C-alpha cells in the first residue's frame, strides 16, 4: 500500500513538470509553496534514509527531483 500511495503522490508532480519545462511559464506557481514543498520533501527523504524505509526513500527522491525542477524554473523564469 505504501508503494502505491508513494507512486501516486510522487508522480502527481509529473504533469506540472512537463508543462513548466515546455512553456517556461511559472507566473501562476507560488514560490513560497514550492520552496516549502522542496524543503519538506527533503526532510522526508532524510527521515526515510535515517529509518531505512525504501518506500520513503524512493518516493521522496523522485518527488524532490520533480518539485525541485519546478522550483528551479520558478527561480530562473520569474
Q: What is the pTM of this model?
A: 0.87
- Give the model confidence (pLDDT) of 23-41 as tens digits: 999 999 999 999 999 999 9
What is the phi/psi pair of residue 26, to 5°?
Answer: -120, 15
Burial tier of 11 (Cβ tally within 10 Å: 0-12, 13-18, 19+)? middle
- Give the model confidence (pLDDT) of 39-57 as tens digits: 999 999 999 999 999 988 9
- Give the model confidence (pLDDT) of 55-68 as tens digits: 889 899 999 999 99
Q: What is the predicted pLDDT for the residue at 6? A: 81
Question: 2-76 adopts what CATH topology?
Answer: Monooxygenase (1.20.1280)
Amino acid at each position: 500500500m505504501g508503494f502505491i500511495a508513494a507512486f501516486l503522490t510522487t508522480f502527481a508532480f509529473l504533469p506540472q513538470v512537463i508543462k513548466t519545462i515546455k512553456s517556461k511559464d511559472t507566473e501562476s506557481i507560488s514560490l513560497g509553496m514550492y520552496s516549502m514543498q522542496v524543503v519538506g520533501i527533503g526532510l522526508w527523504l532524510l527521515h526515510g534514509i535515517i529509518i531505512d524505509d525504501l518506500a520513503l526513500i524512493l518516493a521522496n527522491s523522485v518527488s524532490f527531483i520533480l518539485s525541485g525542477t519546478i522550483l528551479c524554473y520558478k527561480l530562473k523564469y520569474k
